[in-house]
């Protein structure tokens, strides 16, 4: 198949959506398909001949994100010669809507992955009940125009059905490159431990992700303040708009010696970070999947998380980690228990690594391939809208 990925989020930006696109593109190409990516500028050294860039500019509310032009001459020229079999969008914005128009005009199926629970992100614009309801309605209206939806978790499917979406939905999580996260580079591991000032006696709780308010990292800091373990350090890998506020909380709580802001790391160093940690800590309840949770499990880390249906698709309480209430005291208590009990932590780590194989990128790519085939099989081309013929009247 020739598959077009249409996305308003792509490299050089680093986030879960970009990771998902790149993993699925690589795995589907390994299965013999041709993947073409339509994304906003700026260009990236890894682009290759199958990446087409749309002119774009930074978004005022979040400069790391891009606002793309709704039309690209280069994209139109490329599409004329491609003969795509299916359009797969990853954002409902400019380039995603461009892809919808392409699908309608070429009379091919339009599949959309609902990566982000947009009502949980309205605080970046205007956080009110009205704006959340508007985000729900816009999400519903957009999804209703699609031929099928891919939901990264059962949580996303439940929300979409609740909002009134009745098109076919396939639950397919983004796959994990299990082998990559299972085997760190010893040299990078040693260098990263020295760079982050991790002593041999230190216990490390690791968070990986964007430092945005919706990730609830502040709750992890509050839990660390309540922790009674004398040698625990919380390492935060990632960056984002909420970092300054988090640094202020660290200072106010006198946690400077117990919190490490590692910033963005290269992929190999991120793998090393998973392997220098003793457990993975995650407090977000806005996830559609929580890809970093799967990566941590592939690295053999037990996961300490708060109740959230997306995360609980991965984490089984008592088998691969601990699921607790979103309270600082509860997180701190579970953290202390896990860091003291080496036997339980090792058992959970073994279960975590075993479960990660069920979410390998190879397995998930096979599932998405079947979803494409089903979308093509049941596709009924839309009738192009024509101007109605008016009756003629004789005098």
- Residues 309-335 pLDDT 10s: 999 999 999 999 999 999 999 999 999
CATH topology match: 2-175+360-377 vs 178-358: yes
The pLDDT-based confidence of 390 (bands split at 50, 70, 90) is very low
pLDDT 10s digits, 136-152: 999 999 999 999 999 99
Render 137-166 in DSSP notation, one character per residue. HHHHHHHHTSSEEEESSHHHHHHHHHHT--
Q: Model-level pTM? A: 0.86
Burial group, residue 235, by CB count within 10 angstroms (0-12, 13-18, 19+): buried
Q: How far apart are CA 11 and CA 29, in angstroms?
A: 19
Choice among 124-128, 260-264, 377-381 with the minimum mean pLDDT:
124-128
Residue 125 reports pLDDT greater than 80: no
pLDDT at 394: 52
Residue from 231, 229, 220 nearest 253 by CA: 220
The pLDDT-based confidence of 60 (bands split at 50, 70, 90) is confident
Domain ranges of the chain: 2-175+360-377, 178-358
CB 237 within 8 A of CB 275: no
pLDDT 10s digits, 340-350: 999 999 999 99
Kindly report the average pLDDT of the chain as a whole number: 93
Straight-line distance from the first to the last Cα atom of the chain, in angstroms, rounded to the nearest whole number: 58
CATH of 2-175+360-377, one of 3.40.640.10, 3.40.190.10, 3.40.50.2000, 3.30.465.10: 3.40.50.2000
Distance (Å) of CA 183 to CA 31, 178, 269, 273: 24, 9, 12, 12
CB 310 within 8 A of CB 155: yes
* Number of helices followed by number of strands (H, E) in the chain: 15, 15
Domain spanning 178-358: which CATH class is it, in words? alpha beta
Q: How far apart are CA 351 and CA 163, in angstroms?
A: 35
DSSP state of 59: -
Q: How far apart are CA 216 and CA 224, in angstroms?
A: 13
pLDDT 10s digits, 254-271: 999 999 999 999 999 999
pLDDT at 119: 84
Q: How far apart are CA 239 and CA 318, in angstroms?
A: 31
Q: How far apart are CA 305 and CA 325, in angstroms?
A: 9
């Amino acid at each position: 198949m020739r598959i077009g990925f249409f996305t308003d989020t792509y490299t050089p930006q680093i986030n879960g959506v970009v990771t998902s696109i790149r993993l699925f593109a690589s795995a589907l190409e390994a299965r013999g398909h041709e993947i073409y990516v339509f994304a906003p500028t700026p260009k990236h050294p890894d682009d290759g001949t199958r990446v087409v860039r749309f002119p774009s500019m930074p978004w005022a509310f979040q400069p790391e994100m891009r606002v793309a032009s709704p039309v690209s001459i280069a994209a139109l020229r490329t599409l004329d010669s491609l003969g795509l079999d299916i359009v797969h969008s990853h954002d409902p914005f400019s380039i995603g809507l461009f892809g919808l128009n392409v699908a309608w005009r070429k009379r091919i199926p339009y599949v959309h992955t609902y990566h982000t629970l947009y009502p949980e992100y309205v605080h970046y614009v205007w956080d009110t009940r009205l704006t959340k309801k508007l985000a729900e309605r816009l999400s519903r209206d957009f999804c209703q125009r699609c031929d099928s939806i891919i939901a990264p978790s059962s949580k996303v499917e439940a929300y979409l059905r609740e909002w009134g979406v009745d098109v076919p939905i396939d639950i397919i999580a983004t796959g994990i490159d299990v082998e990559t996260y299972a085997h760190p580079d010893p040299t990078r591991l040693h260098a990263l431990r020295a760079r982050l000032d991790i002593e041999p006696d230190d216990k490390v709780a690791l968070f990986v992700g964007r430092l945005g308010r919706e990730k609830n990292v502040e709750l992890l800091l509050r839990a660390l303040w309540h922790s009674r373990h004398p040698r625990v350090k919380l390492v935060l890998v990632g960056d984002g708009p909420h970092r300054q506020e988090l640094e202020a909380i660290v200072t106010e709580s006198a946690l400077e010696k117990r919190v490490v802001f590692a910033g963005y790391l290269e992929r190999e160093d991120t793998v090393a970070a998973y392997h220098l940690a003793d457990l993975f800590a995650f407090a977000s309840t806005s996830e559609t999947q929580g890809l970093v949770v799967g990566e941590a499990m592939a690295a053999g880390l037990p996961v300490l998380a708060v109740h959230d249906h997306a995360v609980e698709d991965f984490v089984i309480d008592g088998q691969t980690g601990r699921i607790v209430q979103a309270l600082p005291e509860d997180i701190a208590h579970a953290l202390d228990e896990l860091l003291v009990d080496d036997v339980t932590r090792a058992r959970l780590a073994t279960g975590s690594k075993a479960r990660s194989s069920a979410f390998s990128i190879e397995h998930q790519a096979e599932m998405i391939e079947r979803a494409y085939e089903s979308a093509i099989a049941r596709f009924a081309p839309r009738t192009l809208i024509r101007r109605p013929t008016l009756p003629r009247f004789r005098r």
